[in-house]
Structure 1
Amino acid sequence: MSLQEAIAADSVNELYSLIEQDENILDHGSEGPFPNTPLHVAAEQGKTKVAMEIATLKPPFARKLNRGGYIPMHLALQKKHYRTVRTLMTLDPELVRVRGRGGITPLHFVAGERGDNGWDNMELLELLAEFLSACKLSIEDLTNQCETAVHVAVRTGNNEAFKVLFGWLKRVHLTRILDWKDQHGDTVLHIAASEKQPEIMKLLIGYTAVKAKNFRGRTALDIFQENPSGDQDLAKRSRRLGRRAITPTLSLSQFFSKELTSFEKCANFFRIPDESARNIILLVSSLIAAATYQAALTPPGGYLQDSSSNPTANSTVVTANSSSVATRKTHGARDSIRRRSGLYGYAMLNSLAFFASIATIWATTFTVEANPLFHIPIPLLCLAYSVSLIVQTPQDREVVAIYLLVLAVFCLIAVFGVPVLWRSTFWQQISGVRLVIFGENEAIGN
Structure 2
Amino acid sequence: MNPEIKSYFPILNQEINGHPLVYLDSAATSQKPTPVIEALKEYYESDNSNVHRGVHTLGNRATEKYEGAREKVQQFINARSTQEIVFLRGTTTAINLVAQSYGRANVEEGDEIVITYMEHHSNIIPWQQLAKERGAVLKYIELEEDGTISLENVRAAITDRTKIVSMVYVSNVLGTMNPVKEVAKIAHEHGAVMMVDGAQAAPHLKIDVQDLDCDFFAFSGHKMVGPTGIGVLYGKKHLLEAMEPVEFGGEMIDFVGLYDSTWKELPWKFEGGTPIIAGAVGLAAAIDFLQEIGLDEIEKHEHHMAAIAMDKMSAIEGLEIYGPKDPAKRAGIVTFNLKEVHPHDVATVLDMSGIAVRAGHHCAQPLMKWLDVTATARASFYLYNDESDIDRLVEGLRSAKEYFSDVF
> Does the alignment reach a TM-score above 0.5?
no
More helix by share: 1
With CA pairs under 8 Å and 6+ residues apart, which has the higher RCO, 1 or 2? 2
More strand by share: 2
Rg larger in structure: 1
